[in-house]
């Protein structure tokens, strides 16, 4: 066929099958992403590549010529611009992170809106890998290394808690290992999109839209009270921190449950498998075993009251002088503990999740963090085949 309706090369010839495949996969996998090369905020930032994506948005690497540095820009898809709940959640993440200055928290510099209505925020560009990738690639950490990392994470969470912010979705994927100032294993806490904030922190006109009894979160790292949809406070984060440390040390979680439902039930009812009994032939210092066991107590009142308390207990599990300088500096001096009553508890009970896509949907049980690789592969192959034949027909 002649004419302009079909897909043709510059010479006018129909493209080869290989060319069709390259173009199709370029479209599917974002090579032709319209944001690549886009100037943001009147040219203050220039997007250079996409470095991550999900169901609700994407993260891009960008240059900031005026400051001669690289930044990351997180963008909520424009199709969600009319979803007030999702935009509010996105704004909440930016607002929470912008108010935190601890060196172990990723910083946010700006919040704005693109021409197509998509909202975005600009944050630190980090090079490295998250804790989940680290353990998956290299296996469990040696105790001293894990303690160095987690004491620093405690420092970041302590600042957030004192500001009236509870993270609510702490997991290895949300702790990023990077190098900073010559210091290796320098963790950065990410993803405050589910953060529970006091009304003061939220700001006038912000939405507080979760409801009592709604269960959101990542099942493997939920506290018992979060798994039951109850009101939570900073001690829920401490439970999650203990689960992260447990996995760093063993490569496993303290329960043998498999499905999301069974995992949530285990958090509520089952006794955690002691650290030294989790991996045959591998034992840990009794002090470390006891510290993690206390942080994993079912009742919040039986756990460490603050992240500082937990960090100090972890320091006591480390041989004197072996903690890194960064870890020793990460946690602020002890202060009178803030009230255990959650900030804004009368308005903002537990809720929110990175696993559930739409917080306005009816209460649901979130899926496991483990990706359904085979299903995704099958769907991808099916889409590729259909797309290839569609392009073939268009070229005739």
Q: Are 114 and 120 in contact (CB under 8 A)?
A: yes
How many Cβ atoms from other residues are within 10 Å of residue 284's Cβ? 18
Taking the C-alpha atoms of residue 102 and residue 153, their distance in angstroms, rounded to an integer, is 10
Structural Rg of the chain based on CA atoms: 23
Apex 49 CA angle, 395 and 42, nearest 5: 105
Pairing of strands 69-76, 108-113: unpaired
How many Cβ atoms from other residues are within 10 Å of residue 20's Cβ? 20
Give the H or E element holding residue 121: strand 119-124
Taking the C-alpha atoms of residue 377 and residue 384, their distance in angstroms, rounded to an integer, is 10
Pairing of strands 69-76, 57-64: antiparallel
How many Cβ atoms from other residues are within 10 Å of residue 125's Cβ? 19
Give the H or E element holding residue 249: helix 234-250
Give the H or E element holding residue 40: strand 39-40
Q: Which of 169, 185, 233, 237 is catalytic?
A: 169
Give the H or E element holding residue 71: strand 69-76
> 41 catalytic, yes or no?
no
Enzyme catalytic residues: 169
């Amino acid at each position: 066929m002649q004419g302009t309706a079909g897909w043709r090369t510059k010479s006018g010839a129909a493209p080869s099958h290989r060319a069709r495949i390259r173009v199709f996969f370029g479209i599917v996998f974002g090579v032709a992403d319209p944001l690549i090369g886009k100037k943001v905020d009147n040219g203050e930032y220039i997007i250079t590549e996409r470095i991550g994506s999900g169901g609700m948005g994407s993260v891009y690497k960008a240059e900031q010529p005026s400051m001669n540095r690289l930044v990351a820009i997180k963008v909520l898809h424009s199709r969600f611009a009319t979803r007030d709940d999702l935009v509010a959640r996105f704004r909440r993440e930016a607002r929470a992170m912008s108010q935190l200055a601890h060196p172990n928290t990723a910083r946010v510099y700006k919040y704005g809106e693109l021409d197509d209505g998509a909202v975005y925020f600009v944050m630190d560009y980090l090079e490295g890998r998250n804790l989940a990738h680290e353990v998956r690639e290299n296996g469990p950490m040696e105790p001293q290394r894990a303690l160095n990392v987690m004491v620093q994470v405690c420092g970041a969470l302590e600042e957030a808690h004192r500001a009236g912010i509870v993270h609510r979705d702490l997991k290895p994927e949300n702790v990023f290992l990077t190098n900073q100032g010559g210091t290796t294993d320098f963790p950065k806490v990410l993803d405050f999109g589910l953060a529970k904030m006091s009304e003061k922190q939220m700001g006038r006109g912000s939405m507080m839209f979760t409801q009592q009894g709604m269960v959101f979160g990542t099942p493997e790292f939920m506290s018992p009270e979060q798994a039951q949809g109850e009101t939570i406070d900073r001690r829920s984060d401490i439970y999650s921190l203990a689960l992260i440390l447990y996995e760093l040390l063993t490569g496993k979680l303290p329960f043998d449950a498999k499905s999301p439902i069974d995992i949530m039930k285990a958090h509520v009812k089952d006794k955690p498998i002691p650290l030294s009994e989790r991996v045959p032939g591998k034992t840990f210092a009794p002090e470390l075993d006891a510290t993690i066991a206390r942080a994993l107590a079912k009742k919040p009142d039986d756990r460490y009251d603050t992240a500082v308390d937990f960090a100090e207990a972890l320091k006591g599990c480390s041989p004197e002088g072996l903690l890194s300088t960064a870890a020793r500096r990460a946690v602020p001096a002890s202060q009178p503990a803030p009230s255990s009553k959650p900030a804004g508890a009368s308005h903002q009970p537990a809720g929110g999740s990175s696993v559930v896509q739409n917080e306005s949907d009816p209460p649901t049980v979130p899926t496991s963090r483990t990706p359904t690789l085979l299903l995704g592969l099958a769907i991808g192959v099916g889409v590729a085949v259909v797309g290839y034949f569609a392009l073939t027909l268009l070229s005739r």
